[in-house]
Amino acid sequence: RTGRVEATGSLTWDDLTEDELRGHVFANGFFGVGNGIALTFKLESVSDNDYLATYGFPDRSRLENSLRLSRTTADGFFDAGITSFSSLRETERDRTLPNRVVDGQFVRRFSNDVFGGIAQVRVDTLGYLREEDTPGTLPENGRPLATDAARISGVLDWRRTETLRNGLEIHHEAVAP
């Protein structure tokens, strides 16, 4: 009633590998969960790294699985999600890739009664995890080549436009990162 799911997949019984059953499933979904909030998801799974190429499906280098919540209103926006990536490339090791990601964004606009115009607050976050650090260290500081990371950033800005009698527009703007 409040959403939709689209899924495709395949299942094979063959003797090309030692696995008796092989297959894949890709699915996307969207649901309205109330109060203007949307829940979306993406699911991608294969039985083995060579399955898609073996059966003529579009070849992919990575699979993505995600879950997101978002809400958009006249004066704001919110979006947050978690994503997991897995590589199908033989040359990549999932354990050292940043394959678990958490991200979010919050934007809120409001009228500024003191100075006029519109003010906006924006906050962005991003974090990713690896199951293990990439082997080796950076020569300048001895830290691992690749590790987990997280960041948060914010911006406050204000804008106002005035139109003079002669039609000339004056734009005022201030941004504070």
pLDDT along the chain (177 residues), means of 10: 96 84 96 96 94 88 96 96 93 82 96 83 94 70 76 94 90 80
The structure's pTM equals: 0.78
pLDDT at 18 (0 to 100): 81
* Structure-token pair, residue 146: 């690749």
pLDDT at 25 (0 to 100): 97
pLDDT at 16 (0 to 100): 79
Rg over CA atoms, the chain? 24
pLDDT at 20 (0 to 100): 81
Phi-psi region of 136 (alpha: psi -120 to 50; beta: other; left: phi over 0): left
- Pick the closest to residue 120 from 135, 134, 109 (CA basis): 109
pLDDT at 131 (0 to 100): 82
- Pick the closest to residue 86 from 96, 73, 74, 75 (CA basis): 96
